Amino acid sequence: MSSDKDSAKRSDFVARYGPWALVAGASEGLGAEFARQLAARGLNVLLVARRAQPLEVLATELRHQHRIEARTAVVDLADRELPTQLTAVVGDLEIGLLVYNAAHSLVGPFLDQELGGLLRTIDVNCRGPVVLSHLLGQKMAQRRRGGIVLMSSMAATQGAPLVATYAATKAFDLILAEGLWEELGRVGVDVVACRAGATRTPAYERSQPQGSAGKGILGEPGPVVTAALQALGRHPSVVPGWVNRFAAGFLGRLLPRRTAVQIMAKATRSMYER
Ligand SMILES: NC(=O)c1ccc[n+]([C@@H]2O[C@H](COP(=O)([O-])OP(=O)(O)OC[C@H]3O[C@@H](n4cnc5c(N)ncnc54)[C@H](OP(=O)(O)O)[C@@H]3O)[C@@H](O)[C@H]2O)c1
């Protein structure tokens, strides 16, 4: 009985968001987890990132485990020619779900960063989501069905030193998704921003100072992705995990902004300053 229910749920999901999902930034961490959960729900997946090898390994795993189609495309999401490249990569695949997961994130004092790196952060984290949501959203709107998941962050709640540009791009993603939730919702396309807290991924672990195991509570990719997919079609944004929801409510709504920034500053400095 429950397996009948599961397969009905799976076909509802495919009818709403299938037959293909494009996951941008799928080679590891949260993006790979999105690909796994979407394949388990019966979607074919187009996996996009810069490194071909981990994409191929994941595509092979998903084809065998879920009997879906999986393709890969090597694309730098910061590329100036992204709209043309994306159009070529997608071809005539019917993409019913976009997950824009990739991010570029630099940690360190703003003035010590190379300007090129800061601008790349804006390209990958802001320009990329606009390009992909626009190109794929147009086709979804014509079909009057589809979904878009944009990865934001708890860092979007207020500014923070040492990650000022990254945090600002994540605020952009949150506000973009909320606006599109209302606008595209009217033409049958569901949009959600996922404001993840610190999550155990290879990128997160690489960002920690050497010898540090990271401070505070770390989430796991599985529950974060499940929460994002459950919120799709229900809410404009989601904060996975009750500790993060409490922190987001406290920092974002209860405290004066100045105090919220100071608390976040203490946290980022204790995490990243030696
Ligand atoms: N992990 C956390 O603690 C945390 C917390 C809050 C929010 N988030 C958000 O969750 C998302 C995923 O985070 P993550 O920790 O899994 O790792 P991430 O470093 O943000 O993203 C990793 C994925 O993005 C791809 N990628 C990065 N730059 C790219 C580019 N220029 N072109 C194409 N692909 C690119 C990487 O593949 P290649 O290297 O192969 O290109 C990899 O597949 C991000 O949007 C992040 O802001 C993460």
Mean pLDDT of 55-70: 98
> For residue 120, what are its two tokens?
């790349």
> Given 17, 166, 215, 266, which residue is catalytic?
166
Catalytic residue among 170, 204, 215, 266: 170
pLDDT per residue over 123-164, tens digit each?
999 999 999 999 999 999 999 999 999 999 999 999 999 999
What's the pLDDT at 111? 98
Q: Sheet harboring 44-49: ordered strands across?
A: 70-74, 44-49, 20-24, 95-100, 146-153, 189-196, 237-238
Q: Whose C-alpha lies nearest to ligand 1, atom 25?
A: 25
- pLDDT bucket at 4, cuts 50 / 70 / 90: confident
Asked if pLDDT for residue 19 goes beyond 60, the answer is yes
Q: What is the largest CA-CA distance in the chain?
A: 60
Asked if 9 contacts 84 with a C-beta cutoff of 8 angstroms, the reply is no
Tokens of 165: 């540009």
Nearest CA to ligand 1 atom 33: 49
E strands, the chain, are 20-24, 44-49, 70-74, 95-100, 146-153, 189-196, 237-238
CB neighbours of 171 closer than 8 A, spacing ≥ 6? 152, 156
Closest CA to 187 of 234, 231, 136, 143: 143
Tokens, residue 99: 């997950």
What is the model's pLDDT at position 72?
A: 98
Ligand 1: which of 153, 165, 272 to mutate, most ligand atoms within 8 Å of CB? Answer: 153
Closest alpha carbon to 31 in 245, 219, 224, 193: 224
Pair of tokens at residue 6: 């599961």
- What does the CA dihedral 104, 105, 111, 112 come to, rounded to 10 degrees? -100
Confidence category of residue 258, pLDDT binned at 50, 70, 90: very high
Distance 204 CA to ligand 1 centre (A): 9
Establish whether 170 is a catalytic residue. yes
| Mean of pLDDT over the chain | 95
What is residue 1's predicted lDDT score, i.e. its pLDDT? 47
Q: How far apart (Å, rounded) are the C-alpha atoms in residues 225 and 149?
A: 10
Give pLDDT, residue 274.
67
Share of the chain above pLDDT 70, in %: 96
From ligand 1's centre to the CA of 125, what distance in Å? 9
Residue 189, SS3 per DSSP: strand
pLDDT digits (tens, 9 = 90+) for 209-244: 765 555 568 999 999 999 999 999 999 999 999 999
Residue 177 CA, ligand 1 centroid: distance in Å: 18
Query: Rounded to the nearest whole angstrom, what is the distance from the C-alpha of residue 24 to the centroid of ligand 1?
Result: 9
Verify whether residue 166 is a known catalytic residue.
yes
Q: Are 141 and 96 in contact (CB under 8 A)?
A: no
Higher-confidence residue: 9 or 83? 83
265 three-class SS: helix
Identify whether the C-beta of residue 114 lies closer than 8 Å to the C-beta of residue 125.
Answer: no
Task: Give the mean model confidence (pLDDT) for residues 66-79.
Answer: 98
Return the exposure string of 232-241: e unless at least 16 CB atoms fall within 10 Å of the residue's CB, then b. Answer: beeebbbbbb
Mind listing the pLDDT tens digit for each residue in 168-207? 999 999 999 999 999 999 999 999 999 999 999 999 999 8
Q: Alpha-carbon distance 114 to 108, whole Å? A: 11
Global pTM reads 0.96
Q: Residue 198 contacts by C-beta under 8 Å, 6 or more apart in sequence?
A: 154, 204, 214, 216, 217, 218, 219
Percent of the chain with pLDDT strictly greater than 90: 88
C-alpha 220 – ligand 1 centre gap (Å): 15
Contact 6/30 with Cβ under 8 angstroms?
A: no
Testing ligand 1's pocket by substitution, the residue of 33, 37, 48, 50 carrying the most ligand atoms inside 8 A of its CB is: 50
How far is Cα 138 from Cα 15, in angstroms, rounded to an integer? 18
The ligand 1 atom at the shortest distance from the C-alpha of residue 123 is 31
The set of protein residues with a Cβ atom below 6 angstroms from ligand 1 is 25-31, 49-51, 75-78, 101-104, 124, 151, 153, 170, 196, 198-199, 201, 203-204
